[in-house]
Amino acid sequence: MIYRRMFGFPDWGVRSPFTELEQLRRQIGRMYDEFSGTPSLRGRTGVFPPVNVTENRENYYLRAELPGISAAELDIQATGNTISLAGERKISGAEENARYHRREREAGKFSRVISLPDDIDADQVKANMTDGILTVVVPKAEKAKPRQISVK
């Protein structure tokens, strides 16, 4: 049946006249999702582990909280200007006849890639795992370091 559309030419079609409204509703829903939500959730990509990235003139620092994971179980790779972390968290099993009162810690695999804006010196990346906190120090490439310009 030919029906009038809101925009564009009248068209052949057996689509329901509500298609345009459906699209509009979806767009409004998307806009609403962007503005709602608590501030703490907005920046989260939802990938484990949460990582804090900070920088100073010389390096980038990536920190993640990974309790219970030893250095040997982590796989960190530096490629181009990205750092990828992957690993698996295992929780040591309880004995046979244990009764659980609470179970809040989770186990499983994780994998995450962080892109850094500037060029990095991939050969000099150092990582340190202490007390369940992983700190990766990524030196910036020489040409990416800020250079002080003196004014005569």
Partner 1 sequence: MADTESKELKVKEKQELATPAEQTRSGLVFTPNVDIYETEKDIILTADMPGVKTKDLTIDLRDDTLTLSGDIEPFENPDEQDMMIEYEVGKFYRQFTLSEVIDQSKIDANLSDGVLRLVLPKIEKAKPRRIEVKAG
Binds partner 1 by CB under 8 A, chosen from 109, 113, 124, 126: 109
- Residue 136 identity: V
Q: Contact between 4 and partner 1 (CB under 8 A)?
A: no
The tokens of 131 are what?
């007390």
- Residue 84 identity: S
- Residues 6 or more apart whose CB falls under 8 angstroms from that of 43 comprise none
Q: Contact between 13 and partner 1 (CB under 8 A)?
A: no
C-alpha distances (whole Å) from 125 to each of 58, 86, 96 are 12, 16, 43
Comparison of 9 and 104: residue with beta carbon closer to partner 1: 104
Comparison of 16 and 52: residue with beta carbon closer to partner 1: 52
* C-alpha to C-alpha distance for 95 and 64, rounded to whole angstroms: 30
Shortest reach from residue 16's CB to partner 1, in Å: 38
Comparison of 102 and 147: residue with beta carbon closer to partner 1: 102
Shortest reach from residue 78's CB to partner 1, in Å: 17
Q: Contact between 103 and partner 1 (CB under 8 A)?
A: yes
- Residues 6 or more apart whose CB falls under 8 angstroms from that of 47 comprise 110, 112
* C-alpha to C-alpha distance for 21 and 141, rounded to whole angstroms: 52
- The 39-78 contact track toward partner 1, x by CB under 8 A, reads -xx-xx-xxxxxxxxxxxx--xx-x-xxxxxx--------
Which residues in this chain contact partner 1 in the complex, by CB under 8 A? 40-41, 43-44, 46-57, 60-61, 63, 65-70, 89-91, 94-95, 97-111, 129, 131-133, 135
